[in-house]
Amino acid sequence: MQPMPSALETPRLRLRPRDGRDAEWNLALLAEHPLGRAAGSLEDERERLDAQRAMFDELGFGLYAIELASTGEAVGYCGLVVGRASASQPEIAYELLRGHVGHGYATEAAAAVADAAFDAAFPALWATVATWNAPSFGVLAKLGFGGTRRAGLDGGNVYVWLHRRAPRRRHRVSPA
């Protein structure tokens, strides 16, 4: 597998690897999380995100900050993580600040990440979604992910594993 690109673009979004400069908005995102994720100080978050960026460089994939192309405003993140999967078949992960949910940004960003992952020769991608997270099931269905099994994880929350294989590459035959 090849490394993921250092930047991705769609008509409305720019994606770049997350790092310490994303700490402030990421703390706001953590504060909005329905499961009440604990967050540290701004400096701790900068250090955590800088370490995350170093892992992106080491593994060749990781999380991208999602920015609006028109303004540069960060609206969330999307990318690949080992998570509950593996480095050879990672999980796609995404999360948006509440004020930016419902505009199709998660679908647009996740489609760009999935396309780049398959272009980088990942054979498959996984996703795990808590059963309460209906919007994520919609995003993943639009991208061709299908459910495979349910498992109770993380404090009793029930998660569904979804999977998508890389599209088959069609070889063009030149006319003789």
Structure-model confidence comparison of residues 93 and 171, the more confident one: 93
- The residue written with tokens 């994303």 in the block is 22
Q: Is residue 173 classed as helix, strand or coil in its secondary structure?
A: coil
Instruction: Beginning with the edge strand found earlier in the chain, give each strand of the sheet holding 63-68 in spatial order.
Output: 8-9, 13-17, 63-68, 74-81, 91-96, 124-130, 157-165, 146-153
| pLDDT at 1 (0 to 100) | 80
| pLDDT at 46 (0 to 100) | 95
Q: How many CB atoms lie within 10 A of CB 174?
A: 4
Mean pLDDT score of the chain, rounded to an integer?
Answer: 89
How far apart are the C-alpha atoms of 43 and 97, rounded to whole Å?
A: 20
Q: Is residue 160 classed as helix, strand or coil in its secondary structure?
A: strand
Structure-model confidence comparison of residues 73 and 133, the more confident one: 73
| Inter-axis angle of helices 134-142 and 105-119, nearest 10 | 50
CATH of domain 8-122: 3.40.630.30
| pLDDT at 171 (0 to 100) | 46
Mean pLDDT of the region 111-137: 93
- The 10s digit of each residue's pLDDT in 16-73 is 999 999 999 999 998 887 665 666 889 999 999 999 999 999 999 999 999 999 999 9
Q: Which alpha helices (DSSP H) does the chain contain, by range? A: 23-32, 42-59, 105-119, 134-142
Q: Is residue 48 classed as helix, strand or coil in its secondary structure?
A: helix
How far apart are the C-alpha atoms of 152 and 147, rounded to whole Å?
A: 15
| pLDDT at 86 (0 to 100) | 87
Q: Is pLDDT of 135 > 60?
A: yes
Q: Is pLDDT of 172 > 70?
A: no
Structure-model confidence comparison of residues 173 and 152, the more confident one: 152
Residue spans of the domains in the chain: they are 8-122
| pLDDT at 153 (0 to 100) | 63
127, 94 Cβ separation under 8 angstroms: no
Contacts of 42 (CB under 8 A, 6+ apart): 23, 24, 27
What's the pTM? 0.89
How far apart are the C-alpha atoms of 42 and 21, rounded to whole Å?
A: 10
